[in-house]
A and B are shown apart, each in its own frame.
Chain A
Amino acid sequence: EQLFRGDQVLRITASNEEQITLLRVLGEQAELQIDFWRDLTGPGHPADLWVPFPSLQAVKIFLEFHSISYSVMIEDVQALLDEEKKNMTRSRRI
């Protein structure tokens, strides 16, 4: 089973086309293993980016260096998955 301990999902809002281009370049860096859960559409529209824990630092530095605004939508993906699993088990028991 693949675990997602410490992985985060960032909600990113690009303010202009230049930032969108930068984010697309970021997304193409295969070694970061990031995944746009909700894709980039246009300036002002939120995009959600799943970032594995080992890539978090690099991604956040990139976003801050380019003044791209973001917030942490999911603090720890695995914590949410654990909660989901617990709920499923409980409901099955009931």
Chain B
Amino acid sequence: QRSISTFDFASYHTLEEIYDWMDMLVDDHPNLVSKIQIGQSYENRPLYVLKFSTGGSNRPAIWLDTGIHSREWITQATGVWTANKIVKEYGQDPSVTAILDSMDIFFEIITNPDGFVFTHSSNRLWRKTRSINAGSSCVGVDPNRNWDAGFGGSGSSSDPCSETYRGPYAHSESEVKAIVDFIRSHGNVKSVISIHSYSQMLLFPYGYKRTPAAHHQELNELAKKAVSDLAAMYGTKYAYGSVADTIYLADGTTVDWAYDNGVKYSFTFELRDTGRYGFLLPSTQIIPTATETWPALLDIMVHVLEHPY
């Protein structure tokens, strides 16, 4: 007998287990959660998005994604915990309730399923997609260099063997194209929050150029509040700022594409780093990581709700 109550959020899970859990979540909360398939991966796996909605038509929406880099397991695990938290808090927490009473949340927990399966079966440290590159024996494209935002420049590689290979052209990866098509066809997405790990940062546009975004000041203030509220939980210190200022120039990323396509509140998280494990953060860290991330996510979502545009 399947039961959502026995799911262990403090453990890492396979794709099948997570997809099964998504079905259980939908079954248990049919009036709040539904599952949408937005496309297929290169290896023909379904790309599922959980839709949290209390009704209405084409409401303003918040997009969340986790796990575009498959080896960042803490990210997908945080995604599962967070999706469950949204459901638990609706009707309890006034902020979550207010958000969902007037907005929808779309959440893609396994953004790169082929890579994720590969990390479980063959190479735990796989980052990219699994698409075959013509003329090369090296497989995969970095899906966070594949977006049509300064595509092809700094911080990405033209070498298919590189971990930051940008791909042959923008949106060549079906995993990326599916999100692009979804957000464009929706037309009312107000925030995109793309979650990665690890280096404890909350970043916003731009990454492909050093020019400040038009809303730099507002995004910076919001990021400052979010990382402060995150740190209040366990004292985890996050850096924040534009991608270019905080880390390095990186072209073709999710948040830059979103911002350049009219999504003002575009952020990317880099979840916690204990300085001991890198991408191999033990599963004991899942709940603390997800728990401390939640207030920061909520800050952004509440700000989006309170600042319509």
A4, A37, A39: most-surrounded residue (chain B CB, <10 A): A37
Majority SS of interface residues in chain B? loop
- Check B121–A4 contact: CB distance below 8 A: no
Contact of A74 among B122, B163, B280, B283 (CB under 8 A): B280
In whole angstroms, what is the CA distance A1 to B122 when docked?
A: 4
- Check A74–B247 contact: CB distance below 8 A: no
Majority SS of interface residues in chain A? mixed
In whole angstroms, what is the CA distance A74 to B176 when docked?
A: 32
Residues of B with C-beta under 8 A to A91:
8, 10-11, 283
- Check B247–A41 contact: CB distance below 8 A: yes
Number of residues of chain A lying within 8 A (CB) of chain B: 28
Contact of B280 among A38, A80, A92 (CB under 8 A): A80
Residues of B with C-beta under 8 A to A2:
122-125
- Check B12–A74 contact: CB distance below 8 A: no
- Check B11–A87 contact: CB distance below 8 A: yes
Contact of B8 among A9, A38, A46, A94 (CB under 8 A): A94
In this assembly, does A22 line the interface, its C-beta being within 8 Å of a C-beta of chain B?
no
Given contacts A4-B125, A9-B278, contact A41 B12 (CB under 8 A): no
In this assembly, does A58 line the interface, its C-beta being within 8 Å of a C-beta of chain B?
no
Which residues of B does A touch, CB under 8 Å?
Answer: 8, 10-13, 121-125, 161, 163, 198-199, 246-248, 273, 275-280, 282-283
